[in-house]
Amino acid sequence: MEEQTAVEEDKKVWSLLVNDMLFGLAGKPRKWEDWKFSQPLQERRIFVFNTLKETIKADRKKNRLACKQAIILARHFKLLETEPLEIQELYLQVFVMTEFMLSGPNSFSNLIENPFLFEEQLFWRQIAVHNLSLSHEFQKYNLNWEHWLNYPPARFESRVNNENQDVLWAKLNQELDALVAMFANHSLQPSLRKDCIAIKKMKKEILAGELVLLRRFFPRFFPLYYKTLDYLKKKGQPISDLLSKFERPDLIKQLILELGEIKSRNFIIKLWERDFGNLYSGNYIGNCLAIGNKGSCPVITLPGVPGEKRPAGILDYLVDKGIQVVEIMECKNGDEYYVGQCYLYVFLDNGKPVLMADSIDFRPIYQLSRRKSLNFKIRTELFKFLMGYASAIGIERVVIAKNGPILESGKNKGERHVIGNDVDVSDLLEVNFEKIEKLGGYWNHQPYFLESVGGTEAFVIR
């Protein structure tokens, strides 16, 4: 009896797979109407807005994080009103499912690969069938699906030399004193002296890396100097900004940058947990995947990707198990804080699987221009993680995207999209491909916001 039931379930699975694959071969995505929801979208939007309002009101004082996330999501739902119904529906469905219908670890991950949980809901069945077909696609190329979904995290420490820290701090103080001496008998010296004293008092913030600033460095660290300079200019005194003409302020800037890196730090690199909380990761990192901000959206439109200004973005990644996101987190006092992410998928080169890092994004304070040595350390550990991950799956080559498709709109129309990364790639070998396409396709047969899809060049990690 059990064997008969298993056979019947297998037949049902293959029937679902075949039906969805046949639909995909037609080359047309499903429209919102095809999913045949019993309630109008607007009614369910009102329900979600009311739910978010209640969360904001209830958590304003006792749970500030939940309150902040609810505000971000409410704003984003408002911004989505001008986007295609399919994108709005995806957000609504995932929110309602994770907020009210699922509980426990891995519940969302299990949902999106089980077509029998919601057999009568074509929307979720379509996503589950897509992920089920992905597992078969991986098997076809002898790739380990279980390792793709589950791979152990890696921890590392960025060690410091405390003696070097003391030497650099003493050097900074000497340079600040020398800078003040250079302005002897100058009308700006009193203001500059006060600014230098203030910098010396910021030792804790400097050593913590909290004052590592790239833009407008001098006005930030010498505010009284510039305030007095502006005042004297308005009074008609023939005075110029000498600070920007000397080499010593640049040396002071470099010392502050170096001191911001000298600190023992603990990190973890891991696959994301694939739950609704991942939706806000772009807000923490500050990239184009951030939601709920009117001024935050991708600066380019990728060919074939649905959406006016705001594609589904990371939510497409969330429901498609053919996308993995690697998170780099800094560990402080038992908590984890975002450092950066990279977005992975598999593509074929002459029939052989290749692991693609679509882009590597870091929070500004960890970027190469601000913390060079720490950025290189993180890069080394990330590359090591990616190579180990690829080996566990059964993939020999790992690459980072260099370019994407030929753009069909915008100021660079007709040119290939050039992809930026927040790690140094100048020492990596470049390689050409005929055309990069994600293995296994897309859950609604439309490409996601993956910058490298349609591209032809990448940098080789291994």
Q: How many CA atoms lie within 13 A of 446 on its CB side?
A: 19
Total domains present in the chain = 2
Q: What is the pLDDT of residues 96-142, one digit of tens each?
A: 888 877 666 668 888 888 877 766 688 998 898 899 889 999 999 99
Residues 250 and 287 in one domain: no
Residues 154 and 169 in one domain: no
Location of structure tokens 């800094």: 330
**Is residue 96 one of the residues assigned to a domain?**
no
Residues 242 and 271 in one domain: no
Residues 257 and 198 in one domain: yes
Q: Do 325 and 344 form a contact (C-beta atoms < 8 A)? A: yes
Decide if pLDDT at 59 tops 90.
Answer: no
**Of the listed ranges 38-47, 56-65, 224-233, 270-279, the one predicted with least confidence:** 56-65
Which of these, 222, 258, 220, lies nearest to 242 by C-alpha position?
222
Q: Which two tokens stand for residue 364?
A: 């500004």
Q: Do 381 and 156 form a contact (C-beta atoms < 8 A)? A: yes
Most confident range, picked from 43-52, 58-67, 239-248, 450-459: 450-459
Q: If residue 231 lies in a helix (H) or strand (E), which one and from where to where? A: helix 223-234
**Of the listed ranges 8-12, 27-31, 307-311, 343-347, the one predicted with least confidence:** 8-12
Identify residue 367 by its one-letter amino acid code.
Q
Q: Confidence band (pLDDT; 50, 70, 90) for 217?
A: low
**Is residue 10 one of the residues assigned to a domain?**
no
User: Using CA atoms, how far apart are residues 384 and 388, in angstroms rounded to an integer?
Assistant: 6
**Is residue 58 one of the residues assigned to a domain?**
no
Q: If residue 172 lies in a helix (H) or strand (E), which one and from where to where? A: helix 162-182
User: Using CA atoms, how far apart are residues 428 and 279, in angstroms rounded to an integer?
Assistant: 31
Residues 290 and 236 in one domain: no
Q: State the pLDDT at residue 332.
A: 85
Residues 352 and 281 in one domain: yes
Name every residue whose Cβ is closer than 8 Å to that of residue 275 and which is 6 or more positions away in sequence.
98, 108, 109
Mutual orientation of helices 248-261 and 372-393 as an angle, nearest 10°?
Answer: 40
CATH of the domain at 408: 3.40.630
Q: State the pLDDT at residue 1.
A: 56
Decide if pLDDT at 309 tops 70.
Answer: yes
Q: How far is CA 129 from the centre of its chain?
A: 27
Which of 234, 261, 288 is the last residue in one of the domains?
261
Q: State the pLDDT at residue 365.
A: 76
Residues 245 and 299 in one domain: no
**Is residue 400 one of the residues assigned to a domain?**
yes
Q: Which two tokens stand for residue 402?
A: 């260099």
Q: State the pLDDT at residue 263.
A: 67
Q: What are phi and psi of 16, to 5 degrees?
A: -65, -45
User: Using CA atoms, how far apart are residues 110 and 117, in angstroms rounded to an integer?
Assistant: 9
User: Using CA atoms, how far apart are residues 192 and 198, in angstroms rounded to an integer?
Assistant: 10
Instruction: Please tell me whether residue 72 adopts helix, strand or coil conformation.
Output: helix
Determine the straight-line distance between the first and last CA of the chain, rounded to whole angstroms: 50
HEC assignment per residue over 4-48: HHHHHHHHHHHHHHHHHHHHHHCCCCCCHHHHCCCCCHHHHHHHH
Q: Confidence band (pLDDT; 50, 70, 90) for 248?
A: confident
Q: Do 286 and 195 form a contact (C-beta atoms < 8 A)? A: no
Location of structure tokens 């990239």: 287
- The CA angle 211-216-222, to the nearest 5 degrees, is 70
Buried b (16+ CB within 10 A) or exposed e, 91-112: bbbbbebbeeebeeeeebbebb
Q: What is the share, in percent, of the chain residues with pLDDT greater than 70?
A: 89
Q: State the pLDDT at residue 192.
A: 92
Which of 242, 261, 280 is the last residue in one of the domains?
261
**Is residue 385 one of the residues assigned to a domain?**
yes
Which of 217, 235, 261 is the last residue in one of the domains?
261
Residues 313 and 433 in one domain: yes
Domain of 186 in residue numbering reads as 162-261
Arithmetic mean of pLDDT over the chain? 87
Please, is 280 exposed, middle or buried when counting C-beta atoms within 10 Å of its C-beta (0-12, 13-18, 19+)? buried
Q: Mean pLDDT across the stretch 373-391?
A: 95
Residues 167 and 313 in one domain: no
Instruction: Please tell me whether residue 260 adopts helix, strand or coil conformation.
Output: helix
Residues 332 and 419 in one domain: yes
**Is residue 445 one of the residues assigned to a domain?**
yes
Q: State the pLDDT at residue 4.
A: 60
**Is residue 125 one of the residues assigned to a domain?**
no
Q: Which two tokens stand for residue 313?
A: 């973005």
Q: Confidence band (pLDDT; 50, 70, 90) for 247?
A: confident
**Is residue 76 one of the residues assigned to a domain?**
no
| DSSP character string of 77-124 | HHHGGGS-HHHHHHHHHHHHIIIII--STTHHHHHTT-TTTTTT-HHH
Residues 379 and 404 in one domain: yes
Q: Confidence band (pLDDT; 50, 70, 90) for 205?
A: confident
Residues 304 and 362 in one domain: yes
